[in-house]
């Protein structure tokens, strides 16, 4: 697999894939700890990580927080259909959704709905207020269908490699 890196092509080898697998599970490892896990010294591992970052394989490093401990334990999936489908209306919807902190993920999808939202709130009352005050104020929403998560079975941020 290869992607352009500053007008050149990089080819990932087995060690690059091992580095990616390790980092997507524990991105806070030091270069020394990562080097020990892939049986290399720190300098080549540091250079490989920087190469993977520059080439866009590593997009960001984040801490995954507990929504429940932060009183945002109600997860809602909301399917949205727009009344009209023009580029201007779609772009405005995207802009409006990006401004809502409760919406943590948004996907433009095909099928019966236009957008799929993942929303985190504290409880049903907060979700009701979100729908009435925020989602309801966005123009051109034709319908919104909510599904409430009762239990999380699997949640992985890892890309299968």
pLDDT in tens, 110-151: 999 999 999 999 999 999 999 999 999 999 999 999 999 999
SS3 content of the chain, % helix, strand, coil (to 5): 35, 25, 40
SS3 160: coil
pLDDT of residue 141: 95
Read off the tokens for 161: 């490699």
Q: Which domains does the chain have, with CATH numbers?
A: 2-54 (1.10.10.10), 74-148 (3.30.70.920)
**pLDDT confidence bin for 5, thresholds 50/70/90:** very low
pLDDT of residue 2: 46
pLDDT of residue 7: 43
pLDDT of residue 1: 47
Question: CA 104: distance to chain centroid?
Answer: 8
Q: For the segment 6-52, what is each residue's pLDDT rounded down to a tens digit?
A: 545 689 999 999 999 999 999 999 999 999 999 999 999 999 999 99
Q: For the segment 49-74, what is each residue's pLDDT rounded down to a tens digit?
A: 999 999 999 999 999 999 999 999 99
CB proximity list for 6: less than 8 A, separation 6 or greater: 54
Average pLDDT, the chain: 93
pTM of the model: 0.85
Residue 75 has pLDDT above 90, yes or no: yes
| Count of CB atoms situated within 10 Å of the CB of 148 | 12
Handedness of CA 146, 152, 153, 156 (dihedral sign): positive
Contact 24, 60 (CB under 8 A): no
pLDDT of residue 10: 86
Burial 117-138 (b: 16+ CB within 10 A, else e): bebbbeeeebbeebbeebbeeb
First-last CA distance in the chain: 11
Residue 3 has pLDDT above 80, yes or no: no
Helix (H), strand (E) counts: the chain: 5, 6
């Amino acid at each position: 697999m290869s992607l352009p890196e500053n007008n050149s092509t990089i080819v990932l080898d087995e060690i690059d894939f091992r580095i990616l697998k390790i980092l997507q599970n524990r991105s806070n490892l030091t270069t020394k700890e990562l080097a020990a896990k892939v049986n290399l010294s720190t300098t080549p591992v540091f250079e490989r990580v920087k190469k993977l970052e520059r080439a866009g394989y590593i997009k960001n490093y984040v801490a995954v927080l507990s929504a429940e401990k932060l009183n945002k334990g109600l997860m809602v999936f909301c399917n949205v259909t727009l009344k009209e489908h023009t580029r201007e209306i779609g772009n405005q919807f995207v802009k409006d959704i990006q401004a809502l902190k409760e919406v943590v993920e948004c996907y433009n999808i095909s099928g019966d709905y236009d957008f799929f939202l993942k929303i985190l709130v504290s409880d049903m009352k907060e979700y009701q207020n979100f729908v009435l005050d925020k989602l309801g104020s966005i123009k051109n929403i034709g319908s919104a269908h909510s599904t409430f998560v009762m239990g999380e079975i699997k949640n992985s941020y890892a890309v299968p490699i």
